[in-house]
Amino acid sequence: MKIYHSPGSRSVRVIWLFEELGLPYELVQFKLGAPEMRSPDYLKVHPMGRVPALEDGSQTIFESGAIIQYVVAKYGDGALEPDVAFPEFGNYLQWLHYAEGMLMPQVNILVVETIFLSEERRNQVNIDRAMKLLNRMLVAVDAHMEGRDYLAGEFSAADIMTGHACSVSRRLGADVSELPNLSAYIDRVEARPALIAARAHND
């Protein structure tokens, strides 16, 4: 399978998943925003010229959450996804989608305003509001993680999605100083060898 990736983007989630499952992959790497990402050939892979994208034979998928679900369902052999009869299955689905539904919209604003835009073009109101909302959303993760190592029992694809979003949030300056459960959780996922291997592609 072929993974399209840019360092510093959420496409690292897909590499992380492949590393966790021990699946082979071919990596096509772009510098984020490179002109090649807007080429006619790549727009056939991802119509918005973004990453990640996954090619698996004749199947192409270009949403990180969909890629995660697809790979786990097709190639996971029962790993990283609880059975529907497992009591934590509802938690698994909730936290699998919490990343893109709640955390990443605020992360996106912060990345654009503090990294991509020059200082004179930044909007401090947008930055402050996004950080306030992000911090509130992280409080919910901290509360859920009381007495837990991972979001839905054993480590799962939900941790790849929301664990990554929490890690990025902390790196962007979200205040987790009074969120001990969340801080420990982020440390735990960042120490996973598969994520360390995936992030090596960001260098």
What CATH number is associated with residue 126?
1.20.1050.10
pLDDT interval class at 203 (50, 70, 90): low
Q: Is residue 44 in some structural domain?
A: yes
Could you tell me if 27 and 76 lie in one domain? Answer: yes
| pLDDT score, position 117 | 84
Domain that holds residue 160: 89-192
How much is the pTM? Answer: 0.95
Instruction: Determine, yes or no, domain membership for 200.
Output: no
Q: What are phi and psi of 40, to 5 degrees?
A: -55, -40
What is the pLDDT at residue 62? 95
Provide the pLDDT for residue 115: 86
More reliable by pLDDT, 22 or 117: 22
> Do 137 and 52 share a structural domain?
no
Query: Looking at the domain assignment, is residue 203 inside a domain?
Result: no
